[in-house]
A and B are shown apart, each in its own frame.
With several copies, the nearest count.
Chain A
Amino acid sequence: MDALEKFRQETRTWLEANCPPSMRTPMTSEDETVWGGRNAKYENPEAKLWLDRMAERGWTAPTWPAAYGGGGLSKDENQILQQELRRIKARPALSSFGIWMLGPALLEFANEEQKKEHLPKIVRGEIRWCQGYSEPGAGSDLAGLQTKCEDKGDHYLVNGQKIWTSYADKADWIFCLVRTDATKKHDGISFLLFDMATPGVEARPISMISGASPFCETFFTDVKVPKGNLVGELNKGWTIAKRLLQHEREMISGMGLGGAGSGAGLGGLEQAAKDYYGEQNGRVASPSLRDHITRQKMDGKAFALTMQRSAEEAKAGQGPGAASSIFKYYGTELNKRRFELLLEIMGTKGLGWEGEGFTGDEITVTRSWLRSKGNSIEGGTSEVQLNVVSKRVLGLPD
């Protein structure tokens, strides 16, 4: 306890001294997110300063081993660091698929050389990564992917197409699932890393129903990849993929709890309803809407309690529990419903695309409403989630 308290004091002092003032203010736009990478531009030099200072201590990846540039913190220490960061309202020094997704996979599955090569650059934000999983013909059936990776003796040759590769047009490297054995399905997939600057790689941004998007279609034409870039065993990539997908699913589930673009700018569902519909005797003027809002709030509360219960069960050593299998499904459906309800509340003010006549908050809700439709598709569709529950949890047969 004393050691932890000491750690808290030191951390607080260090943060006070090293977190630049502008990094303690809320971001005014998503464009201010620091993603790092070879071509990173910093409108605000303090953002770069903040990144470098945090990276130097390894605190962009606080729990990774110091040997690979990480902070080497214990779970408890990291909790304190996060509390102290929140206390001063510090912006994230670095946002990175390398930290969120790839790093943990490398730590578990990569060889020593690969860890030494890639992890420190991720920590320092030098290399920005993207993830090449889905393909046009392999969505829910991800293991049906067809991007071909041939062994050409001294190198691999990659041909194929990926889709939904977030920020592929801005990333430096990609971690990618490829087919190395066409005669098998799950057991013919490998996990490969390569430089997006390699000849034959092309990324095209995808225009979405909600507008511009970070998603790309990415094409590989005779892309040569050094053989040392294979992570784990040949044809055993599915094991790594499953681990990463689980992680992605958990991130998406959290949406049921609200967050960015969830109408927070409007003060929540009930305040929005009072503002856009009016009130009578302190009640939302439309009784049926009031009832719908209550259903939404009740289900949201029940979902939050269930995530909390699951966490408490895990802490009590009772494992993640069956309840966690429904998080992705329920969280995303709940999020979609909330946006449908927000639009119902906002009437014609929730139907603007851009320009005059609508506030920034209103446009954000409308765009987020459209974007939310993807929640129940990406990271495993709701249908796939329900299949998983009925088969693995309920034991219903094929």
Chain B
Amino acid sequence: MALVLTEEQQLLRDTATQFFQERVPVANLRKLRDTKDADGFDRAVWKEMADLGFAGIMISEKYGGTDFGPVGLGLVLEQSGRTLAASPLVSTVLLCGSAVQLAGNATQRQEILPAIAAGERIMALALEEGPHHNPTRIATRATADGQAFRISGKKTFVLDGHVAGQLIVAARTGGNDNDRTGITLFLVDPKAEGVKITRTLMVDNRNAADIAFDNVAVPSTAVLGSIDGGIDVLEQVLDIARIGLSAEMLGLVQEVFDTTLAYLKERKQFGKVIGSFQALQHRMAVLFAEIELSRSVVLDALSAIEARRNDVPLVASLAKARLSDIATLMTNEGLQMHGGMGMTDQFDVGLFMKRARVAAASFGDGNFHRDRYASLEGY
């Protein structure tokens, strides 16, 4: 196990820290929001991230990636969490890039991975069909039509769905609505006939879309991985996304903690700085402890992917459950300790609270992952 960073990783972290602090501060997100930006993220920034190697961080050098590995990606995500940087990292790199690497054939890899690494291809995974994460609750059907398939169904909460140049759609080629088998992944062109994409405006100002598929024709070459065997790919991809989001939330939590601590040392009431009040001190000390534990869990989960350990599902659920809960706790405590000013849009803490809540709900919240953890452990 490796819970300490190598020198190379420390360098990467420093690069990422500097990049996000200087190039993508929280002000960037405000600007995207206030200008009602059509993309919902800054394409120039994304290009810079690709140039720094962040987009290809989990892609092998053969396909134009930097192959820094999951721990490296985690460090980048953590720093992006500190400034609420909006980018297609989750949709394109964590989810779709991983799916193509894991399940794509040589042609698909060659066509897609270099484009992702170069920051030229945005992709989105169309998976969810209800308000709660559930990778097997798939009613969207792909019906064989000669050598092709016809897809019909409705997807929701598709991250970056309205800006994606290519979709991966999880559809049912067999079985019933909650079966593990019978799910197949398809590469779908969002401009294909019958695809209707509606951007939704989320509380965290990130991109998500509802997508309806009405008898959309896709060729058999669009199948990603094996027919009916999509769940195995999905679960690996989702675990990567869960761990990646946990790393992002770790950065978010640390930032809110640091900001709150600074505020407690500065804000005066009753003639003293409020950080001198013991009740607040103890709450901060407990949060400090929880964050230290969270850091260990995220590092362990990232290194579990890297080492291809067989307990990845377990530590993914551990990380996602813990970070979802701590992100909710920390942003609530942070806002309360900022007092009335924390309620204003002028302060950043509310933005962090909103992002925390969306990240917590993405790909399984605490309830989902505690239940999954117990099932994986056999009780």
User: Shortest CB–CB separation between residue B284 and chain A, in angstroms?
Assistant: 6
Contact call B370/A323, Cβ cutoff below 8 A: no
Alpha-carbon distance between A344 and B360 when the two chains are bound, in angstroms: 9
Q: Does A301 contact B (CB under 8 A)?
A: yes
Q: Does B160 contact A (CB under 8 A)?
A: no
- Give every chain B residue within 8 A of A366 (Cβ-Cβ): 203
Q: Does A27 contact B (CB under 8 A)?
A: no
Contact call B336/A139, Cβ cutoff below 8 A: no
Query: Which of chain A's residues 261-306 have a Cβ closer than 8 Å to chain B?
Result: 270-271, 273-274, 276-277, 279, 282-284, 286, 288-291, 293-295, 297-299, 301-303, 305-306
- Give every chain A residue within 8 A of B156 (Cβ-Cβ): 348, 357
Contact call B3/A308, Cβ cutoff below 8 A: yes
Chain A window 352-380, contacts with chain B (Cβ cutoff 8 Å), 1 for yes, 0 for no: 11111110000000100010011011100
- Give every chain B residue within 8 A of A354 (Cβ-Cβ): 201
Contact call B346/A348, Cβ cutoff below 8 A: no
User: Which partner residue on chain A sits nearest B276 by CB separation?
Assistant: A397
Contact call B202/A373, Cβ cutoff below 8 A: no
Q: Known interface pairs A206-B344, A288-B371, A348-B156. Does A386 touch B285 (Cβ–Cβ under 8 Å)?
A: yes
Contact call A141/B4, Cβ cutoff below 8 A: no
Q: Does B261 contact A (CB under 8 A)?
A: yes
Q: Does B180 contact A (CB under 8 A)?
A: no
Alpha-carbon distance between A396 and B280 when the two chains are bound, in angstroms: 10
Q: Known interface pairs A348-B131, A356-B200, A374-B340. Does A309 touch B379 (Cβ–Cβ under 8 Å)?
A: no
Kindly state the interface size class of chain A when it binds its partner.
35 or more
Contact call A316/B343, Cβ cutoff below 8 A: no
Q: Does B281 contact A (CB under 8 A)?
A: yes
Contact call A288/B373, Cβ cutoff below 8 A: no
Contact call B373/A344, Cβ cutoff below 8 A: no
Stretch from B91-99, B100-108, B237-245, B292-300 contacting the other chain: B292-300
- Give every chain A residue within 8 A of B208 (Cβ-Cβ): 348
User: Shortest CB–CB separation between residue B316 and chain A, in angstroms?
Assistant: 12
Q: Known interface pairs A356-B198, A357-B198. Does A273 touch B379 (Cβ–Cβ under 8 Å)?
A: yes
Which among B4, B261, B353, B377 has the highest number of chain A CB atoms within 10 Å? B4
Q: Known interface pairs A302-B296, A348-B131, A352-B200. Does A389 touch B288 (Cβ–Cβ under 8 Å)?
A: yes
Q: Known interface pairs A297-B377, A352-B203, A383-B282. Does A396 touch B339 (Cβ–Cβ under 8 Å)?
A: no
- Give every chain B residue within 8 A of A355 (Cβ-Cβ): 200-201
Contact call B345/A209, Cβ cutoff below 8 A: yes
User: Shortest CB–CB separation between residue A186 and chain B, in angstroms?
Assistant: 12
Q: Select B202's contact among A340, A352, A378, A385, beta carbons within 8 Å.
A: A352
User: Shortest CB–CB separation between residue A174 and chain B, in angstroms?
Assistant: 19
User: Shortest CB–CB separation between residue A119 and chain B, in angstroms?
Assistant: 31
Alpha-carbon distance between A350 and B362 when the two chains are bound, in angstroms: 12
Interface size on B, residues (CB 8 A): 83
Q: Does A398 contact B (CB under 8 A)?
A: yes
Q: Select B131's contact among A206, A276, A353, A383, beta carbons within 8 Å.
A: A276
User: Shortest CB–CB separation between residue B146 and chain A, in angstroms?
Assistant: 35
Q: Does A318 contact B (CB under 8 A)?
A: yes
User: Which partner residue on chain B sits nearest A370 by CB separation?
Assistant: B350
User: Shortest CB–CB separation between residue B148 and chain A, in angstroms?
Assistant: 30
- Give every chain A residue within 8 A of B222 (Cβ-Cβ): none
- Give every chain A residue within 8 A of B1 (Cβ-Cβ): 308, 312
Q: Does A322 contact B (CB under 8 A)?
A: yes
Q: Does B78 contact A (CB under 8 A)?
A: no
Contact call B354/A209, Cβ cutoff below 8 A: yes
- Give every chain B residue within 8 A of A134 (Cβ-Cβ): 340
Stretch from B44-52, B60-68, B267-275 contacting the other chain: B267-275
Q: Does A220 contact B (CB under 8 A)?
A: no
Q: Does A175 contact B (CB under 8 A)?
A: no
User: Shortest CB–CB separation between residue B84 and chain A, in angstroms?
Assistant: 14
Q: Does A387 contact B (CB under 8 A)?
A: yes
Q: Known interface pairs A277-B132, A298-B321, A397-B276. Does A308 touch B296 (Cβ–Cβ under 8 Å)?
A: yes
Alpha-carbon distance between A355 and B210 when the two chains are bound, in angstroms: 12
Chain B window 179-198, contacts with chain A (Cβ cutoff 8 Å), 1 for yes, 0 for no: 00000000000000000001
User: Shortest CB–CB separation between residue B56 and chain A, in angstroms?
Assistant: 29
- Give every chain A residue within 8 A of B367 (Cβ-Cβ): 286, 288-289, 344
Alpha-carbon distance between A209 and B367 when the two chains are bound, in angstroms: 26
User: Shortest CB–CB separation between residue B222 and chain A, in angstroms?
Assistant: 27
A-B contact pairs, 21 of them (CB 8 A): A144-B271, A208-B350, A209-B344, A209-B353, A273-B379, A297-B373, A299-B293, A301-B318, A305-B296, A305-B300, A308-B1, A323-B296, A330-B293, A336-B332, A346-B131, A349-B131, A350-B131, A354-B201, A366-B203, A386-B279, A397-B275
List 13 additional contacts besides A282-B378, A396-B264; criterion CB under 8 Å. A134-B340, A270-B379, A276-B131, A297-B377, A302-B294, A312-B3, A316-B4, A329-B289, A347-B365, A348-B128, A353-B205, A355-B201, A390-B284
